[in-house]
Chain A
Amino acid sequence: MHRTPGIADLLYAYANGDMDPVEHAARVLEEIRRWEPKVNAFISLEDPELVLEAAEDAGKRWKRGEARPLEGILVGVKDNISTSFLPTTAASRMLDPYVPPYNATVVDRLLERGAIIHGKLNLDEFAMGSTGEFSAFGPTRNPWSLDRVPGGSSSGSGACLAYAGCDGALGSDTGGSVRLPAAYTATVGLKPTYGLVSRRGLIPYGNSLEQISPMARSVRDVALLLEAIAGWDPGDATSLRTEAPSLSGLKPAEPGEVRVCVPRGLPELAEEPVRKAFYSLLERLESEGASVGEVEMRGVERALPAYYTIALAEAASNLARYDGTLYPMRGESGEYWRYIAQARGRGFGFEVKKRILMGVYVLSEGYRDEYYVAATRLRRLVRDEVLRATRGCILATPASPVMPPRLGERIGDPLKLYAMDAYTVIANLAGVPALVQPAGFHEGLPIGVQFMAGRLGEPQLIRLGLLVEELTGLAEVVAG
């Protein structure tokens, strides 16, 4: 383990002329060259020459005093977020090599603010997975322990941060997809309030649940990234008409003003080392003067089935469009139905097919009420409970019930696989923001903690996160 400068440090160093963006970009490219053969965090990489040129331009802007908020920062983007300059595959053979004719709104915002997008990051196919193993381009490995997964579905986003192959990363979080990788790679992930960040250009999995979410190696850096990408987008009818919140200047919370509560019974679902790290962090907070209590929450134990029912219904619908007409994977039969079946049969991986079938099932006539409609009802219950609980305190849970699994350990058993999301799906069902950051290590493997606030409670989360960082000292750490 060692430390490496984060976004805030780099911006400071660029501004003072202590570091040059070209020098930094070269170092990042070198890390990628060294680590990528082992880790497989990227699906496609920008031509190094173009990256260095962009860094050179950034350097000039800094010298001329024309630097933009993220000038010369290298941001990797999950490969389910549309870029018109690099293929966007969602880690599926179906879309290899689809190059969208437009940029996602968040991509435009990053570029307008001077960030350099130097590659597209690996993920579980169509973001369906919790380990990063369901990618058509092969699994991503965890830089902290190469026989372990980095968590998913934003596997590449967590992994590239953990080996300093990027300064920041965008992931997407449908049910924990940036927060599990953050927990397993000792990085920070923040799933924003639903609607705070535009989804335009995000290849959808579960539209009503997911948000494009920033990841970085510190809470401050995540705040910087979120500030850059948040805000109303007329191109997304679900985006909130709010100003982008001001986050980067926030100070750590005073322990005395912090109220944290733990949903009763929830931490007990976690493995022992996770539980221990979680409670020892809470004790630390308490000893500093924070109030730590418990809260009763109905329905949260059934959040997982409600989440999967809704996510898979939406997924089955979203994926109907891949029929071999407009996208790279084709069929060959002259018969329409056979042609579609061939294209879909070849283009989708096993997990995706399984989820489509389940999604179709829960929406079918005769089953819809029992599954889909019941799940939406349960969702409202969970949402109301979360909104009620977060009025008085910030909810704390472990980020994941388990330590980073070994490759192949979880994917054989869907119930065990889906159970990894037990803590994270709650925030997606409720539409509230959730922050995951390092809580500690156990036998060299990272453990994360999750905090949830009410809607648009990002500033509260950032301030608490900065305080926790001060207590744990776990910021800007990288593997190796």
Chain B
Amino acid sequence: MENDKIITVQNLVKKFGSFTANDNLTFDVYRGEIFGFLGANGAGKTTALRILCGLSSPTSGEVKVAGFDIYRETEKIKKNIGYMSQKFSLYEDLTVSENIQFYAGIYGISPKKRKEKEALLLQKLEMTGARHKLIAGLPLGWKQKLAFSVAVFHDPKIVFLDEPTGGVDPVTRRKFWDLIYEVASNGITVFVTTHYMDEAEYCDRVSIMDAGKIEALDSPANLKKTYNAKNMDEVFIQIAR
């Protein structure tokens, strides 16, 4: 089983001055699963996620991502992960194709391979016609799908998604999750933070954070059983109350 753990976190603590954003977190994420990281605003989800991506260093605790140590091997971790932030982060003043070219380039993907993958990707997203359009002119739903696709373009072992579906309608969200499933079926581990409880149902396992601590961690079905709840909404309300 040990080999199947792609992320291991032990006693992770992150303090900002006297405020403890992450209080002694311990959890594992298994290869290929969709791991939901839930919590109210300010519960410390994004802080933990940023630590796992190497954007922020922990105060104490042991963390390994893709087999690499978070303190010493940050750059190796970065080769193996993809990241999509809350803030939409493709370049608005570049076209769809130029954004792909740039990110593919800095991950060292050859131009030939990039062109093949780009054609397939755009076909799948039904965006072939928008290839040479600036990102600034695209609808939000398209941008998010594209940002996600760019985050996994280099086939990382894990992709971190920080509230990827903020501000879009349920139909677009559903379509976005189709993309997530597809990526997961290709063996990429998905680590996703959200506060939409319907999305929590789509995850293999979820952890629920409150005030910097992990209060529950299990599959949605088991959580509902444990808390004797009809849906994840009720589970969440009981925990975060």
A and B interact: no
